[in-house]
Amino acid sequence: MVKIKNKSLCWAVLICLLGLSQAPALIAAEDAAELAAKTPEYRLWVGGNSPARAEREAWVIQQALERTKAHYGPYRLVVSRESSLGSDWRHLLTAGEKVHIVPTSYMSFPPDELTLIPVPIAGGKLGYRHVVVRQDRLEEFADVEHANDLRKKMAGQGLYWPDMWVYEANGLPVKGGQDLPVLLRLLERGEIDYLPLGVDETAAILEKYAHNSNRFSIVPNLLIYYPLSSSPVVTNQRPELIARLNDGLEAMHADGSLHVSSATSFTPSQSRIIKLENPTSLFPVLY
């Protein structure tokens, strides 16, 4: 064995040996950092939809991205539920920096700015609506059976929901509110007479946003229905994302996983159903 008598040389050898032992970890960290830098980040905005619908759509988008990892590689998905983007989402989506994907029921977009992937992702019962009223006004809706019965009553809808145009096009009075808490306050104050809500999300909405859920009631055996779908719209600034989502959603459509719905708490055949027309041509893009 060779004895190293020089202390400085001893320390130099020790440092060298320690450096060699840590080299693989340093290389691995550098590789991980480089991989993270190359991993595309996709930003999904679902803040314009009700909580249950938003969760469903976020799940579908993530599953579609997962289906394509083998071909397109890893990704990061950032989901925003910030409702304040409601008036600006089209501008943000067109710019393609802060927002890349928005599921929406709007059907018309400038093709040079945005791409609609025509695959429904919100489930087949999206167009069915419970009718929520104040508990003390429940009897007023007991005999409601047709759209004409609603012409003297004010509906409430989100300002940026495409449903607004459905009620207007069918000649039904409708008043917009900024979000669900505002709509429930309008209902409680009598500024709107009823609030149509998706059948698979009504209970969760009342539990989360109504300060006193006993003040409200779902009209028994009454549903409003109009054809309604939701499809992802993608900024043209991310062509790889357009191709990736299209491939993933087609795969989910092919194996049936896209059509799984949680809306099982009602039976339409036992209800009075008010059917409305859905004039998709009235879904303009507003700038």
C-alpha–C-alpha distance, residues 262 and 146, integer Å: 27
SS3 112: coil
Set out the domains of the chain in order of their start, with CATH numbers: 38-123+229-262 (3.40.190.10), 128-225 (3.40.190.10)
* Number of CB atoms found within 10 A of residue 170's CB: 19
pTM of the model: 0.71
C-alpha–C-alpha distance, residues 114 and 238, integer Å: 10
Tell me the pLDDT of the chain (287 aa) as tens digits. 445 456 555 555 544 555 555 656 555 555 555 545 689 999 999 987 777 788 889 999 999 999 999 999 999 999 999 877 877 889 999 999 999 999 988 877 888 999 999 888 876 577 899 999 999 999 999 999 999 999 999 999 988 787 888 999 999 999 999 889 999 999 999 999 999 998 888 988 898 888 777 899 999 999 999 988 889 999 999 999 999 999 999 999 888 888 765 444 456 667 899 999 988 654 444 43
SS3 264: coil
SS3 180: helix
DSSP letter at 97? S
